[in-house]
Amino acid sequence: MGTFFQQYGVEEARRNRIIRNIILSCVGLLVLGIIGYFVFHDYSEKQVAKRFLADVNAHRYEEAYRDWGCSRQHPCPNYDYGRFMEDWGPAKKITSPWTVSSVDSCRSFLTLNVKAAGAEVQSLSVQRSDGSLGYAPAPECQEKMWRWGQFFNRILGRSSDKS
């Protein structure tokens, strides 16, 4: 009779631990999935822009023009190599390397605002469909969407560097 009462509730406690562990594992995987989505959603587009800026900063202009999707042998229809050199070449007289100042994620492309001392802020876009680089139509996405970064910056009292 003593062994019956010693085992009373042991199976139920074991089942409750298993259920709790399954629920916690599912919630943990969901949180990791959401974090992974936000961290890696724009990863490939950012890498295209970083490679382009690295080539421009290292004065490898032909490689940067290829990153743009053009070459001297096959120039872009509305953006030949001479115009590219006017916009990004040594004639620009910048005093610091090009850096990304802000990023805005649109549905079909990623907008990156890049700046360098001695030059105006340039808005670049990287298409999600093919990874092509070009000038963005605007410094920010014009479509309706949640602006979580701006929301948290306002709540935390940080100013965003959009200039």
Contact by Cβ (8 Å): 136, 123 = yes
Please give the radius of gyration of the chain, using alpha carbons only, rounded to the nearest integer.
26
- Gap between the Cα atoms of 87 and 31, Å rounded: 43
Q: Per-residue pLDDT for 26 more than 90?
A: yes
Residue 111, SS3 per DSSP: strand
Structure tokens at 25: 């594992």
Highest mean pLDDT of the ranges 17-21, 43-47, 78-82, 91-95 = 17-21
∠ Cα 149 155 160 (to 5°): 50
Q: List pLDDT tens digits, range 78-106.
A: 898 999 999 998 888 888 999 999 888 88
Instruction: Write down the pLDDT at residue 161.
Output: 47
Instruction: Write down the pLDDT at residue 162.
Output: 44
- Gap between the Cα atoms of 126 and 119, Å rounded: 21
The chain-wide mean pLDDT, for the chain, equals 86
What mean pLDDT is predicted for residues 158-162? Answer: 52
Q: How confident is the model at residue 41 (pLDDT cuts 50, 70, 90)?
A: confident
Matching residue, tokens 């990156």: 112
- Gap between the Cα atoms of 163 and 151, Å rounded: 18
Instruction: Write down the pLDDT at residue 107.
Output: 85
Q: Which amino acid is at 163?
A: S
Across the strands, what pairs with 124? 112, 135
Q: How confident is the model at residue 38 (pLDDT cuts 50, 70, 90)?
A: confident
Q: How confident is the model at residue 8 (pLDDT cuts 50, 70, 90)?
A: confident
Instruction: Write down the pLDDT at residue 163.
Output: 39
